[in-house]
Structures are given as C-alpha cells and as structure tokens.
C-alpha cells in the first residue's frame, strides 16, 4: 500500500491552522506506516532472479528472495549500483 504525504502549505506563516492540519495529516500517514510494519512486518519481494536497478529506485532498499537460489538478501540501490548483503 502506498502512503502519500500531503503537500506543504506554501506562503502560510508557521503556527497557522493550515500547518496544524498539515502536521496532523503527516502524523496520521506516519502512524499508518508504523502500524503496518508492526502488524505485518517488512515485505519481502520474491522473484526467480536478483533485482535490477529497474526494480529498486536509487536511494532505496528492498528485501529480496531469489527463488532460484533460495537466497534472501537486503539490496540497496546506491546511486545506480546495486549492493547486497545475504540474510541468514
């Protein structure tokens, strides 16, 4: 499930009700993500091969199970270079 943060109020002085509303929406989104992780854990992607840079965006990480080799790894896209560590 994707969680989208609300846009930041522009041209509005800090402390106004628009900032309070924005903060409450951000807090609710963070709470949803946190509750999902606590309830469901971290999702694992499974595929017959290791990921490519098209599977993981630069600056992001993913737990990936290669069903052919049965390896489970944490993969990170480090500015276009995939790096991984095996999880045992």
* Average pLDDT, consecutive stretches of 10 residues, N- to C-terminus, the chain (88 residues): 75 90 90 84 94 95 96 96 95
Whether 21 maps to a domain, the answer reads no
Is the residue at 9 inside a domain? no
Within-domain flag for 30:
no
Give the distance from CA 88 to its chain's centroid.
22
pLDDT score of 86: 96
For residue 7, the model assigns a pLDDT of: 85
Q: What is the pLDDT, as a whole number, of residue 2?
A: 57
H or E element in which residue 32 lies: helix 17-40
pLDDT of residue 59: 92
12's tokens: 């509005």
Number of structural domains, the chain? 1
Q: How far apart are CA 58 and CA 1, in angstroms?
A: 20
């Amino acid at each position: 499930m994707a969680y989208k943060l609300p846009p930041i109020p522009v041209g509005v002085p800090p402390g106004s009700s628009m900032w309070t509303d924005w903060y409450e929406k951000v807090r609710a989104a963070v709470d949803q993500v946190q509750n999902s992780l606590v309830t469901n854990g971290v999702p694992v992607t499974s595929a017959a091969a290791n990921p490519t840079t098209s599977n993981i965006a630069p600056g992001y990480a993913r737990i990936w199970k290669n069903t052919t080799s049965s390896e489970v790894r944490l993969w990170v896209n480090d500015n276009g270079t995939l790096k991984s560590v095996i999880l045992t």
